[in-house]
Amino acid sequence: MKVADMNWRDIEAASARDARCILPIGSTEQHAQLSLCVDMILAEKVATDAAEPLNIPVFPVMPFGLAPYFNAYPGTICLRVETLMAVIRDVVASMRRAGFRQILIVNGHGGNNPVGALGQELMAEYSDTSIKFHNWWNAPETWAKIQSIDTSGSHANWMENFPWTRLAHAPAPEGEKPGVDMALMKASSPAQVLDLLGDGSFGGPWQRPDADMLAIWEIGVAETRAALKGPWPGSGNG
């Protein structure tokens, strides 16, 4: 259940009956012809779909993350590493004040991986709190399904082209884009990345059949739900 549909008394009751909650985090950055908000859309939806039958609160998605390499693309919002860490630290502290002690961070953007290390640091600071960092698309079963469909799955190509990340006015191009030199991209400035990537996709097909995407989504939701269920240290959740 989304926190947007709850009031403070609902949160008080929810944390009293169950110590678990979810924080989705994403990014606002170029995704070729897809929405700039792909990563936050997917993180929030997979978290909400996973939590729904468990009646676990899902806090509003963090829409901004770490994406300095895309800074030359208009619309990309990039935080400094220390800014994102400070925000997540304050959010977790607020969740603890509300009574939550088992926090699942559902991440939709690979650039946000430093948050996983922060989670370990926070658990050292708060010995009564457990934090899981879950890259939903890169979890073992979900990633295996992606690879079984097409090993080219990557940024802004078919792998992120779901019915809910498309824009009606910007259909996907036909065919495939040649793969880009990832080593060169990682050694390039934002302006050079724009020149190298063009539309922004890392290469491969821009779109695959919806049946493929829904099969991936089903596994992604199930795997996220399994992480939410547990096990959690010192808890009967499992």
Set out the domains of the chain in order of their start, with CATH numbers. 3-229 (3.40.50.10310)
Over residues 133-155, the mean pLDDT reads 98
Pairwise CA distance, residues 56 & 53, whole Å: 8
**Contacts from 37-42 at CB under 8 Å and sequence distance 24+?**
37/63, 38/108, 38/156, 38/160, 38/165, 39/65, 39/108, 39/109, 40/108, 41/108, 41/164, 41/165, 42/108, 42/136, 42/137, 42/160, 42/162, 42/165
| The predicted structure's pLDDT at residue 14 | 98
* Reported pTM: 0.96
**Model confidence at 19: pLDDT above 60:** yes
Q: How many CB atoms lie within 10 A of CB 8?
A: 8
Q: Look at 212 and 234; give whichever has higher pLDDT.
A: 212
Over residues 41-67, the mean pLDDT reads 98
Task: Give every strand in the sheet of 102-107, ordered side by side.
Answer: 20-25, 102-107, 130-135
| The predicted structure's pLDDT at residue 48 | 98
| The predicted structure's pLDDT at residue 234 | 74
The residue among 95, 99, 75 whose CA lies nearest residue 87 is: 95
pLDDT tens column, 82-127: 999 999 999 999 999 999 999 999 999 999 999 999 999 999 999 9
Joined tokens for residue 154? 């990557």
| The predicted structure's pLDDT at residue 235 | 65
Joined tokens for residue 135? 């890259």
pLDDT tens column, 154-170: 999 999 999 999 999 99
Over residues 218-225, the mean pLDDT reads 98
Pairwise CA distance, residues 232 & 132, whole Å: 9
**Model confidence at 237: pLDDT above 70:** no
| The predicted structure's pLDDT at residue 238 | 44
SS3 (DSSP) at 5: helix
Pairwise CA distance, residues 90 & 167, whole Å: 34
| The predicted structure's pLDDT at residue 189 | 98
